[in-house]
Each structure stands twice: as structure tokens, then as C-alpha cells.
Amino acid sequence: MRSPIPDYLAEALRSVQADHSGATADYIPELAHADPDRLAAALCTVDGHIYSAGDAAAEFSIQSISKPFVYALALADRGFDAVLEKVNVEPSGNAFNEMSVEPDTGRPLNPMINAGAIAMHSLVGPPGATPEQRVDRVADGLSAFAGRRLHVDEAVSRSEMSHAYRNRALANMLRAYDIIADDPLVAVAGYTRQCSLLVTAEDLAVMAGTLANRGVNPLTGRPVVSAAVVRQTLSVMATCGMYDGAGDWMTRVGVPAKSGVAGGLIGALPGQAGIATFSPRLDRHGNSVRGVNLFTRFTADMGMHVMEVPPHAPSVIRSRRVLGEGDREVTLVSLQGDLRFAAAERVVREFQEHPPQQHRVAISLRRVFSVDAVARRMVLEAVRRLSLDGHEVYLLDPDEVLPDPDPGTGGRVRVLTRLADLLGG
Amino acid sequence: MRSPIPDYLAEALRSVQADHSGATADYIPELAHADPDRLAAALCTVDGHIYSAGDAAAEFSIQSISKPFVYALALADRGFDAVLEKVNVEPSGNAFNEMSVEPDTGRPLNPMINAGAIAMHSLVGPPGATPEQRVDRVADGLSAFAGRRLHVDEAVSRSEMSHAYRNRALANMLRAYDIIADDPLVAVAGYTRQCSLLVTAEDLAVMAGTLANRGVNPLTGRPVVSAAVVRQTLSVMATCGMYDGAGDWMTRVGVPAKSGVAGGLIGALPGQAGIATFSPRLDRHGNSVRGVNLFTRFTADMGMHVMEVPPHAPSVIRSRRVLGEGDREVTLVSLQGDLRFAAAERVVREFQEHPPQQHRVAISLRRVFSVDAVARRMVLEAVRRLSLDGHEVYLLDPDEVLPDPDPGTGGRVRVLTRLADLLGG
Amino acid sequence: MRSPIPDYLAEALRSVQADHSGATADYIPELAHADPDRLAAALCTVDGHIYSAGDAAAEFSIQSISKPFVYALALADRGFDAVLEKVNVEPSGNAFNEMSVEPDTGRPLNPMINAGAIAMHSLVGPPGATPEQRVDRVADGLSAFAGRRLHVDEAVSRSEMSHAYRNRALANMLRAYDIIADDPLVAVAGYTRQCSLLVTAEDLAVMAGTLANRGVNPLTGRPVVSAAVVRQTLSVMATCGMYDGAGDWMTRVGVPAKSGVAGGLIGALPGQAGIATFSPRLDRHGNSVRGVNLFTRFTADMGMHVMEVPPHAPSVIRSRRVLGEGDREVTLVSLQGDLRFAAAERVVREFQEHPPQQHRVAISLRRVFSVDAVARRMVLEAVRRLSLDGHEVYLLDPDEVLPDPDPGTGGRVRVLTRLADLLGG
Amino acid sequence: MRSPIPDYLAEALRSVQADHSGATADYIPELAHADPDRLAAALCTVDGHIYSAGDAAAEFSIQSISKPFVYALALADRGFDAVLEKVNVEPSGNAFNEMSVEPDTGRPLNPMINAGAIAMHSLVGPPGATPEQRVDRVADGLSAFAGRRLHVDEAVSRSEMSHAYRNRALANMLRAYDIIADDPLVAVAGYTRQCSLLVTAEDLAVMAGTLANRGVNPLTGRPVVSAAVVRQTLSVMATCGMYDGAGDWMTRVGVPAKSGVAGGLIGALPGQAGIATFSPRLDRHGNSVRGVNLFTRFTADMGMHVMEVPPHAPSVIRSRRVLGEGDREVTLVSLQGDLRFAAAERVVREFQEHPPQQHRVAISLRRVFSVDAVARRMVLEAVRRLSLDGHEVYLLDPDEVLPDPDPGTGGRVRVLTRLADLLGG
């Protein structure tokens, strides 16, 4: 059987191919003269499978798409407080090249605008890192996100550097406010190399997939940044990633995203996949025209919107039965599905509203596939309270979805793997 | 067994009780003289169970928390285009009483600032509705969200009206730009009545719970607005709900939320619960001090952050076996968990990478609990392609998680409820 | 002999007549349907002679040209401190209908924008004046500036009032910040009547002429406001009178000015004349197209620019001679021209650098036509010092340009009217 | 006799000496460690006499006071259009180090803010001048304004250059918008040298005196810039010279002015004098505290306010008599004072309202001391019209205040120097 997903991607590309609106970025010849017709889409699942269509192996400079990843590296290297002290997380409502800094402190409003991104570049690596070490850390870190060694396009880097008057203005302003400590020209040079790293649509899909996979690269299996860093990064992408159209993007597409002037665009579907598109013509916001259209289509087709309320799942309580006889009588409550807060609450409520009449109480987790931290705490607390009420409590958990269950003071639980163990002697 | 959840809520209230910082809103005596020590928290699950602690039955005026609900009503009554034409969805970066309108058109930046909220009030009900009909529609609509009849606090309404110079300024400016067609004073009067509706923390939890439940009131079971309207409303709450601290709230709490100057604060946990707190002292942004602290705690304890990537669930492919013999030999692929895009992709990939050697292929959905639209399409497409490859395909679906399966042109599938039916004759 | 000035004015009107660019104000029908081709210019000298050409007797509403005059009335009625507390004097750099108020206090940036003008209207008359009394005070005061009783155009007033949503917005915002204490609608009603006063180009020339004449109406001879109030008013007109083109106007025309949307435009030539033009088509700043052109021409033709440095006048020291013989020998220093600081300094220097050898020293003021306060002080101080040096000092001052000369402690001077008195016995 | 002016200046300095408020600029050590107690005032009359008191010979860096002079040089070297294309003339309402540029074009709002000043530095000299040539042109030009060779303080220049991040930011932004064509660092280096030129209070008084004297250095007598350039420069100083307090300064002091962070402050009294003060402690606007107080005092004492309406001078018509007999009968109208527009109008009116009955008409200019261009045109037009009415017209002008009188087509006039010539044969 041939997978329908490549067909879907190819069909999606065909549907936007006729749109020649927008224009390539014109501030350097290397971007202005890029082939405007190149078009690609790629998707990387959290278990590391890549689908792609179009010019998915064509290399282009990563540009602003580097920003969320370097933000994540800075958070990882310096911690949240040190990073927040230098760059805030508020949407700017402004165009991408403006000097959106807080009036008194000079702190950039967020790390997705150039001022914030230049400041972030200066915060990667250990305190005291040299400019070269920082550039290396960025290249290494972004390569870790991509799962392969990325290289700088020296021609793009040189050309950008010779036109980088706006970024030099920003870096000097940041230096004046002591947001960065480097020589401004050196800071811009490092940031320019960062933006000139060459990627393909597939690379970007893997990078976004690493964010979707709690910071673990789905191809290499190597952790790049922590889940807490990913959460912060995705939050900032959600509110600040699409320049001055943050609200429009959040309502219409609803995926944490970032675009770059070379035509790249990424979105991270938390827990599911990273997605990337590539098409060099940009709209007036600086976002890829076809890329935005593709994402709008993806969100409709794939149900990616983070504010989409999931349809009502069947009750977590699959059944409640009394089995066995006499001393071996047992109330068996069978659960199903993924246990997060709401499901765990329902389980707790079951025991509260209908206290078991039997001395022995068993909770079956055979049809439960995941239990998050809060649900785990709540289920164990229910076990503890049942114990305190005098019940003998069993967990039927053949797949160890609730490993090492410790219900805490006064609680006691026995783990079984087979129903027969419960009913047998 | 006593539920631990009320204990948790009570303990959470105790943990913030000592914080007397902030001050009650002082622009009208009714708010300034409110008992500043009142404190409550309430939670309403999507299946309609309410937990609460503290002064959860105390009534106070809903104020700005009415904004997302009236936005939802306007979307429902007039459609997305008509509403977007009058009010945008972009974060303003400004304080709540400022005149954040687009320079040329006068269009308010979003419906969560007063200018946008006044415009929204004027868009509820059918075109041509009288001011009285609009006020009734708002009161009826918000009552439907709350699951009980809400009433206006006439004293608050009168007092606010006599101090509503800022809102009158906004309404006149909106009228000057033809954003509203009403007499500005009439518009402000209606909006003021909207803000003066009395609610309890429990009411607010139910209202937020209705958003968390795809627009269906979890208490009454009645649909109030559509899932699409809920998605739009939650998106706008996420980026614009907490005034000028939208980015800070999104990174730290990560729940679509809205606060009101009387001390209320709501958050919607999509698919799980609505949460509300009440404590009248406000910080300099106009948000309840203790409310913000409670939500910060809730998000840590309950894993509510929408950008929290779920921990890796076990594979959707629980097992793959060949059963039966001879003609009755069948490849049985057993799935588990909730099927969304990523899981469905994995299923498709299973068949693509490992084409079944048997003529008969069965997919077991016995441990699958929900299937969203995209996953349904993908599974059926896989069925269709297997058919076209010559296979005879079965769905083992005793709980009808995939009702009415139609794989489309060239596809064919038989639904069974028991494994025995597959293996038997 | 026929005066060339009417010819000049008529010729100036002809030179702009072909310019049909711009458009009448369109926010009320009364202005939109005004005859766009009407054209007038008028000039009122500080001694009360009026020249005019074109439709100089056509009446139109005064609109924003009322602002500087009502500002002057408020300064006169309440004093500088009370007025500055409510309205600042800084250029706004913004368009005329914007809400240019100081962020924290709500204080309008200057009295020439609508917010400031509404606040000014509320400050005329004694503290505690009723709205009716304030309207009367404004009508009386502006009539005093014009030298005839002005009347409200009731149709314009009604029409403006029914479209005054922006001004109502401003008034409500001012009320919210306690800049005004009135009901906002009442404040707007009063301000609207102020703007609806009917004037002719000749009236406006007299009003501007009153400013040019130190606050004394050149027609009636009656003082309207003090010289200090005039100075403040002209200063504010110079920096804020022409909306967002203040710098452009100051460099190109260089005359304190004010325009109105009905097509009026005034300029005050301090000490010389008031000038007014009338032509209803407005440019995008809201200033009369032909009016601006006429003033540009006037400034070139009449040398009106306040930053034009006057050409070097001949030395204030017309001659220095020794007359008489023996005991009657006298050093006679004859002065000429107007004595301001620089000329007085030159006189003082004459005596310092060339101390008179004679016991008797005479200063002739026969060719001096005016002496301002600083020059008077300096000349008298020179007299005092000459006295202290032992000289006998005389002022030859037949026209009493330096009346009641009191040189102060140790000084002594004798005033003569004829040279003969000096030389004779 | 000793001049009272030095006494006045000394007394003025004493009156502000006790004020130790404010602080020296702290961004470079050379300014931070300047002796904060130094205090000076100097005044230069338009005929080149200098008065001073206090530390008037102490050298300090000119800083922003260079801006109006370099603006004048740019206007002189490139013309008004070329300069206006790069820098506007509108007040910014912003602090001095902000990036006040027009959003679309990047054109600085005026030449008194740093962005505008850097742009101006790049416009001095001929097109194509090298950076070194521009620095030389600035040093030569400012020396010409000062009347002596000025030198750069190399220590200040180096120190400023090593802290000039804000200016480097501005220069890069200007370069990005093509407002300047130089390398931004080179532009900042040149501008920094300009600001580091050493001056004394007396130098500054002479420089301001050159502006007050129509562009002619009152010490050297050499023309530096044209009267048109001076007018433009003074206009921009009037509206933009005192940073964000332009309106406050214009109302309270009313003199075109400019301040510098080293503590200098200048004002130009057109046609009379240049004034300068020096005191290093600055207020929060960056203006010298004592300097502002001194100027406030000067304006009150010396009547310097440009919007001060001069007190009413006596009529330009000193007398009208009929002299002689028979054929020699003549109407003699004797004028007095300075003739500008208003006086000339009065003369014209005299002949219009009271047509001479005699064939011969004489106008005596013996007591007239200056005639400006418009007055000259008007008097000659009156002569022409009297000729056309059949009169024989004479000018009695012994001092040649109206040289080369040509009344134009149809006019005829005879110039006499003595009354006797008129009455005699």
C-alpha cells in the first residue's frame, strides 16, 4: 500500500502553485535572485518519520526561523531569569525590523523581533563565551535540532553583512542600553552567520518536530533542550512568531509558528509532528505567501489548531462490575483512554459518589495508555483514601502505565498483571 | 471516600489568603467598597460536575469577563466576517482603557479591550435588533453559558453609568468611525448592563466550562455556541485576554483566560474543565492578585498549559499478529488510544512499510476511544488502498468508534464486533 | 491718489483664483455645500484701517479660528497657572482631531487641538460660571475682538452638534481625567456654538489685528486682553497653530496663525497688522489651500516673517558734538531711531568708551520715536552713572519719548525741550 | 562712566549661583567630571561689542549647540531643497536621543535631534566631499561663526566615540534609509569631532550674534551665511531647539535657542545681540539648569521675547504742512521712525484720504532711519500714483535712506537734501 500522505502533500503543493503573488526579499541579491518558483512541504512525526513533497531537498538560508531555536538554546544555557532580564515575551504589534524595545530599559519586547534575536544570540553558550564560541554553539545547537550538520552560506552571510545597517542600528542601541555587552558589529556578524545557516524544508520539519517532541530530536533520539524550554519557546512562537499578524495567525491557523525571509515557514504540532514549507515569495508582512496558504489548509485538514477543543471522548470509566464471591468479592472499575486531569477527576468522583460496598477494590488500567503527572497523583490519592476507608486496593496494570505506585502515608496498593490473579486464590 | 479535589482547592485558597496586596477597583463606590477579603475558586468539568471552595456562592458583577462570551454570541449571531469587519483580533500591547483602534478605520484591535467590547455588544442579536433586544440577548446568552438566569445589579449599573466617561468617549469615537451605528450613550448603557450582570465563581466556572466543552453547557447539556465559535473565542482569549501582559500570561499560565475588575478570573482548559477564581484586590494591570497566583499554581499542579507537549504515549500499534489458518488466515493489527493525525499516520505507515502478506486484513479498534476527523479520513483511505491492493479488509469495532465507515471509490470494508466473527466461519 | 494696497490684495486674489485643488470640509452638509469659489482677503492695521478684497463681507463659521481667542479669554479670566494646569503648550505633531493628551494626566498637549480647545471653553468666565454664562462670555469676548456683535449660525451649530461624535469622545475623555468638570455633552454643545459664530474675513482681520495691537481692538480702541496674554497666545499660535505642519509654516511663512475648516485663516503681524483670508477648499492638513498660498505670498511681499532679522539700521548715535563755550560748554549726544536693548547698549557704550570731557552732558532724544522698558532703564542708569561721575546731565526731549525720567539714587537729570535752553543762560 | 551691563550680567550670575540642582552629563568621564560650578554669561551686540561675566573664557565642548550652525552651513552649501529632502523641520515632541524619523522614509524630523544632526554633518561641503573635507568644512565654518579658529578636544572626541552607541545606531538607521551615503561609523566619527569643538561662552555669544546679525560675523565683519539661511535656522531653533520643551520655551523665553550637554546655551536676539551662558549641571531635558534660569531672567529684563508686541510707536506722520507761496506752494509731509509695512501703509493712506491740494508734494525722510523692502516699494508706488495724478513729487532725503528711487512707469521724483532747495528757486 502506498501512503496517502505524500499524495496529500503533493496535492496541497499543486493547489497553491498557481499563486505567484508576493515577491522575494529584495534587500540582498542572493535572496532577490532566488528561484521564486521553488516550492516544498515536509512533515516530521514525533517518532521520526519524514514525509515531503516538492523541492524538499533544496537548501536556503534559515533566516528568522533560527530565532525560536536560538531562544531555546539561550534558555537552556542561561536559564529563564537571565534570558527574561534581557528580552521580554510580549507581542509587539510592530513590523519585524522596528526598534520594539521597552522605552526605559531598552529591553526588546520579544525574541522573535530582530532586536530580541540579536540579544538572544549573545546569550547562548556559557557566560564569558567568545563570539566564535557563540557562533559555534548556535551552529551546533541548530544542527542538533536538525539532526545533521548545518553549514553557513558564506555568500549570503557576506552579502547580508554588507547590508545589515538596520541590524547594526539595533545592536548599537542594545549596546547603549547594556542589553548586550559585545561590540555591536561583532554581535551582528554572529547573528548574520546564524541567519545564513543553510537548511532544507526537511531539516526545518525535523527542527519543528524536535519542539513537537518535547525537545528530543525525533530522528536521532537525542535530547536537545528540556520540555520546560520547549513550552516557553512554543508559547512565544504562538504569540509573537508571525510578526504583526500574531492574532490573525492564532485564530486562523492556531499553531506555534515562525517564518523567514528566504521563504521558509515552520509549525509545531505539539506531541504530533513538525511541519515546514518553503516558497520564496513573501507577503507584505514578510511571510511566505504560499507557505501561509499551505498552513491554513493544513490546519483545516489535519485539525492542528491548538484551541480546537477535542471532541468528547467516551467516559474514562469503561465499566464497573462486582466479580468473585464471598471473601474474594471485588469491585472492579475498568478505565480506558489517556488519563489527564479531567479523566482522573472522573475516576475520583466515581469512588466518592458510589463508595464500593466490597472490601476489595480493583482499578483496571489495561485499556489506559498514558497517565500524566496530575492524573497519577490523583489516582494514587484516591487509592490512599480508599485504603484509609479500610479497603484493600489493587491496580490491574499489565503495561505498567502507572509504574512504582506509592499512594503515600496510610495508603497501600498491590499491582497485578492479570485479572485471574485477582480472582484466583 | 471523600474527593481530594475540594481539599486541593481549599488548600490553594489558604496558600494565597495571606496576600493582601493590590487594591479593589476604585472608580465606582460599589466596587471600591466591596469586601476585599472574599476569596473563592470553582471548577466545572466538561461532564458537569462542580467543585468549589471559599465564597463560591458570593455574587459580584461579571465586568470584563463578559467580553469573550459576548464576542462568542456576536460571532454566532452575525458570522465571522461581519464581526471581523468591526473588530480585529490582534493583541494591543496597551492598557485596558486605552483607545486601541486602527488609525485609519477606527476598528478596535480586539474584542477584549473596552472599545472592541462595546462594538461587540452592538453586534449581538439579529441585524436591526433594538438596544433593548440586544441587552436581552446578552443576558439570555450569558445565562445560557452559566446554566442559570443571571440578573443585573442595578446599583452597580447605575453607578458605572454615572462614571462611564471613558466608555462614552470610546463609544463616541466608534460612532465617529461608523463602527457602531447606535447612539453612543445607548451603546454604553447596554454595555454597562452587560458588565453589571451578577455571577458567582461557580457560574463563571460553568461559563468557562461551556467553552472547554465545545460550546455545550456541561450542566444543562444545551449547545450555546458552535465549536468553531469556541475555537475563535479561545484563540482571542489566549492572545488578548490578559490586557498588556498577554505574553507573560501565555508563557507562565498558558490557558485562555479573562479577568474582570470586580475580581473574577476565568480560564478554560479545552476538553477538560472551566476554572474560576474570585478575589477583588487587583494588580496594576487590573487583574486579581490572588486570582493570578491561583492560576499560576493551578497550571503547575494540573498541567493545564496549552503549550505543554504531552508525554510520549505508547504506540498506537498495540500488536500485529497473524491469526487463523489457510483461507481464514488474517493479519490483525490492533490499535490503542485516541486517534488523531499523528496516530493515524502511524497506522498508515504500518501498512505501507509492512504490506500484509495475507489476503485478509483486520484492524482492531477495541482499544481505541476516540477518532477525530482527520484520523477517520486517513484510516478509511488506508482501508481503500488496501482494498485496491486486493485485500479483504475488516474493522473490529465493537464500540463503534468509527461509525458508518465508507472508504470511498474502490474501497470496501466489513465491520465486525467480535474477534470470533473474524476467525469463525 | 488711490491706495495701491487694495490693488495689491485684489491682484493677490487673482493670482490664486485658478487653483481649485482641495475640497470643502465634508463632515456636515453646511460646510460641504459651501460655495467653494468664494475668496477674500482682509487686512487691519494697528491703527484701525481695514483693507479688503473679494468676498470680504461674506459670513462663514469661525470654527477653529476661535481657539486662540478663547485661549486668550481663559488666560484673562483665570490666569496663566490655572490654564496651564489644564492644557499644555507643546506642539503635538498630530492631526487636529486626534486625542493628543498627556498619557498620565489626560492634559491636552495644547489649546489649538480640539481636546485643548474644549477644555479652554470650559475655563472662560469666572469660576462657577454656568454653561450658558460661558457661551455668553465667549460670544461677548469674540465680539470684543471683532469690534462688532457676532452671532451663532444656528443651522451650522445644530448640524455640527449632530455629528460631533469625535468632540463628544474628547469631552468624555477630558471628563474622565477631570480636565473638565462639566457634563461632556454640555461642554461639546458650548464649544460647538463657539465654533458656529459667524464672521467675515474683515472681522477676522480685526480680531488678528487686536492681537497685533497688544490686545487693544484697533477699531474700537477698547482693551480686550492684556499684552502678556497676547504674547502667550501668539507664542502658542506660532508653535501649534497650523496642526502637524507647525515647523513647515514657521519656516516658510513665519507668522503666528490659525486656520478653520470653513476656510478662514488668520495671521497676526505683531505691532503692524492683522491679516485674514477666506477660501473654503482645504488641503489634507485641513488648512485652506488658497489661504496658505496667499499667506506664503504675503510673507514674501510684506516681510512679515518673525525670524527675519531686520536690516542693519543706522547707528543710534546720530552725532556727538561739543557746543557752547566756557562754563556753558556741553557734550551733546544726539540719538535717533527706536530705542530697544541693542540701541540703548550702544548709547551706554558711547559714554563708557568715550567719557565726556565737559562737565555738562546732554542727550538729545529729538529723533527718537520710541523707547521700550529695557532701553528706558538703561538710558536712565547711564544718566545716573554720569551724575555720579560728577556730570550735570540734560535730556533734550521735546516729544516726551522718555517721560518722568527718574535716574534713581544719586542720579539727577534736567529735561529740556529746546536746544536753545541748553545753550542759552 | 562704567557700563552697567557687566554689572547686570554679574548680578544675574550671582542670582543663580546658589542653585546646585541638576547634574553634569554622565555618559562620558570628560563631561561627568567637569567642574559643575563653572558659570558664565556673555553677550555680543550686532556691532561686535562683547560683554561677559564669570568663567567666560573657560573652554568646553560645543556639543549640540553645533547643530544649528552646521544646519546653516548645509543650507548654504547644498541649498534648501537638498537639505529638506534629507531632514524635515517639524518639532518631534521627543527626547533628544530618540529615533525620531518619519516612518516610511527614515527622514529625521528636524536637524536639532541627533539623527537630523548626523544627517546634516554629511551634507556640508560640496557634493562628493570626503569625510575629512566635511570635518574641515565644519571646523572652518564654525570658526567663521565664532570669529576665531576653534579646535577639537581630542580627549572628549575619543571618549565620546567610544561610547557613541546611540549615535552609531542612528547613523546605521540613516544609512539603511539612504539618508546618508557614508559608512555609518565614519559619519559618527565626523559628527563626534564636530561636537568636540572647544568654545567659550564668549565664542558662543559671537556665534549667536552672527545669526542675530543676518549671518555677518559682528566681530570680523565677514559674511558667513545668507540672511535667508539665518531666517531658516532661527525658525528651526524656535520650534525645535529646546528638545521636548519647545512650546514651554517659546512661551516663557521666546528666543530662538539651542543647548548642549556640556552646559552651554545660546539665544539669538534678531537684529540686536547673541547671548550665551555656560553652567554644566543639566535638568532632565538635558538643558543647563542655571542657563535656563538666566535666559528666563534675560527675557524678562531685556524684552527679548519675539512674540512681544512692540508698544505703539508715534505716528509715522510727524507733520503735514503747506509751505511756500504761489507757484512754490508745496505740501510737505514729514515722516519719522523706521519704515516697515505698517508705517508705509499709513503714509500711503495719508495721501489717499487727504489728497494734496498743491501741485507740488514733498515727502521728508529726514527723521526716517530705515526703510525695508516692502516699505520702499509702497512709498515709491505712492510717488508714482501722485505723479500720475499730476503732482510734482520731491523726496527730502539727506541721509539717503531711500537710495536710487525709481517709482516706475509714469512716476517721477526729484531728490533734495535741504528744505531750502524745495522752497528756494
Residue B308 placed within a domain? no
- Concatenate the DSSP letters of all residues of C11-46 into one string: HHHHHHHT---SB---SSHHHHTS-TT--EEEEEET
pLDDT at site B96: 40
Mean pLDDT (chain A) is 92
pLDDT at site B211: 97
Search chain B and give the residue with CA nearest C97: B173
Q: Residues in chain C with pLDDT < 50?
A: 95-97
- Residue D239: in which H helix or E strand, if any? helix D227-240
Q: Tell me how far apart the alpha carbons of residues B43 and B273 are, in angstroms, rounded to a whole number.
A: 7
CB contact under 8 A, D166 and A173: yes
Same domain, C276 and C323: no
How far does the CA of residue B309 sit from the closest CA of chain A (Å)? 5
Same domain, B249 and B350: no
Establish if A89 touches chain D: CB-CB under 8 angstroms: no
Residue A311 placed within a domain? no
Active site residues of B: 64, 67, 191, 243, 261
Same domain, B257 and B391: no
Q: Tell me how far apart the alpha carbons of residues B181 and D411 are, in angstroms, rounded to a whole number.
A: 69
Query: In this predicted model, what pLDDT tens digit does every residue of A143-155 receive, in sequence order?
Result: 999 999 999 999 9
pLDDT at site B244: 67
Establish if A341 touches chain D: CB-CB under 8 angstroms: no
CB contact under 8 A, C169 and B166: no
* Chain C residues within an 8 Å CB radius of D306: 306-307
Residue A309 placed within a domain? no
**How many CB pairs below 8 A link B and C?**
36
Q: Tell me how far apart the alpha carbons of residues D197 and D220 are, in angstroms, rounded to a whole number.
A: 20
Residue D89 placed within a domain? yes
Establish if B170 touches chain C: CB-CB under 8 angstroms: yes
Phi-psi region of A116 (alpha: psi -120 to 50; beta: other; left: phi over 0): alpha
> Could you give the number of structural domains in chain B?
2
Strands B414-416 and C264-269: unpaired
Residue A195 placed within a domain? yes
Establish if B129 touches chain A: CB-CB under 8 angstroms: no
The pLDDT > 90 percentage for chain A reads: 76
This complex has an ipTM of 0.92
> Averaged over A93-105, what is the pLDDT?
63
> Averaged over A330-342, what is the pLDDT?
91
Tell me the sheet residues that pair with D319.
Answer: D334
Report the 10 Å Cβ neighbour count for D353.
10
Establish if B175 touches chain C: CB-CB under 8 angstroms: yes
Q: Tell me how far apart the alpha carbons of residues D414 and D396 are, in angstroms, rounded to a whole number.
A: 9
> Averaged over D74-103, what is the pLDDT?
82
* Chain B residues within an 8 Å CB radius of A345: 5, 45, 49, 273
**On the CB side of B192, how many CA atoms lie within 13 Å of its CA?**
24
Same domain, C298 and C401: no
Same domain, C159 and C186: yes
Query: Grid coordinates in use for A303?
Result: 485539525
Tell me the sheet residues that pair with D282.
Answer: D23, D288
> Averaged over A268-281, what is the pLDDT?
95
- DSSP H helical ranges for D303-365: 341-353
Q: Residues in chain B with pLDDT < 70?
A: 93-99, 244, 312, 425
The pLDDT > 90 percentage for chain D reads: 76
Same domain, D29 and D136: yes
CB contact under 8 A, D313 and C389: no
Residue D309 placed within a domain? no
The alpha-carbon radius of gyration of chain D (Å, integer) is: 26
Same domain, A368 and A262: no
Query: In this predicted model, what pLDDT tens digit does every residue of A11-28 receive, in sequence order?
Result: 999 999 999 999 999 888
Same domain, C56 and C88: yes
Q: Tell me how far apart the alpha carbons of residues D116 and D94 are, in angstroms, rounded to a whole number.
A: 13
> Averaged over D151-160, what is the pLDDT?
96
Please give the residue that has the higher pLDDT: either D262 or D337: D262
Which residue in the set D99, D165, D176 is minimally distant from A165, CB to CB? D176
How far does the CA of residue C168 sit from the closest CA of chain B (Å)? 6
Q: How far is CA D260 from CA B381, C158, D278, D283, in A?
A: 76, 53, 9, 12
Confirm whether residue A167 is marked as ligand binding.
Answer: yes
Q: Could you tell me which residues come within 8 angstroms of residue C272 by beta carbon, excluding any fewer than 6 positions away?
A: C45, C46, C212, C304, D340, D341, D342
pLDDT at site D370: 86
Q: Tell me how far apart the alpha carbons of residues D46 and D208 are, in angstroms, rounded to a whole number.
A: 10
Active site residues of D: 64, 67, 191, 243, 261
Confirm whether residue A243 is marked as ligand binding.
Answer: yes
pLDDT at site D312: 66
Same domain, D125 and D250: yes
Residue C172 placed within a domain? yes
- DSSP assignment letter at A23: B
A298: containing domain: 4-302
Strands A40-45 and A50-54: antiparallel
CB contact under 8 A, B169 and C165: no
- Give me the CATH number covering residue A322: 3.30.750.24
Report the 10 Å Cβ neighbour count for D394.
20
At residue D416, the 3 state secondary structure works out as strand
> Averaged over D161-186, what is the pLDDT?
94
| CB-based touch B/C (3+ pairs, under 8 A) | yes
> Averaged over A39-43, what is the pLDDT?
97
Residue C169 placed within a domain? yes
Same domain, A348 and A290: no
For C159-164, the CB contacts below 8 A with 24+ separation are C159/C28, C159/C29, C159/C30, C160/C28, C160/C30, C160/C192, C160/C195, C160/C196, C161/C188, C161/C189, C161/C192, C163/C27, C163/C28, C164/C188, C164/C192
pLDDT at site C94: 52
- Give me the CATH number covering residue B261: 3.40.710.10
pLDDT at site D188: 97
**How many CB pairs below 8 A link C and D?**
261
For the ranges A403-417, B75-89, D28-42, D241-255, the lowest mean pLDDT is seen at: D241-255
Same domain, A328 and A251: no
Establish if A173 touches chain D: CB-CB under 8 angstroms: yes
pLDDT at site C415: 95
> Averaged over D91-118, what is the pLDDT?
78
Boundary residue ending a domain (D271, D302, D333) = D302
Phi-psi region of B128 (alpha: psi -120 to 50; beta: other; left: phi over 0): left
Establish if D372 touches chain C: CB-CB under 8 angstroms: yes
Boundary residue ending a domain (C268, C302, C336) = C302
Boundary residue ending a domain (B302, B328, B352) = B302
**On the CB side of C165, how many CA atoms lie within 13 Å of its CA?**
21
Q: Tell me how far apart the alpha carbons of residues C123 and C137 are, in angstroms, rounded to a whole number.
A: 10
Confirm whether residue A51 is marked as ligand binding.
Answer: no
CB contact under 8 A, B348 and A4: yes
User: Catalytic annotation on A191?
Assistant: yes
* Mutation choice for C interface testing from B98, B102, B118, B165 by most C CBs within 10 A: B165
Same domain, A249 and A372: no
| CB-based touch A/D (3+ pairs, under 8 A) | yes
**How many angstroms separate the most distant Cα atoms in chain D?**
87
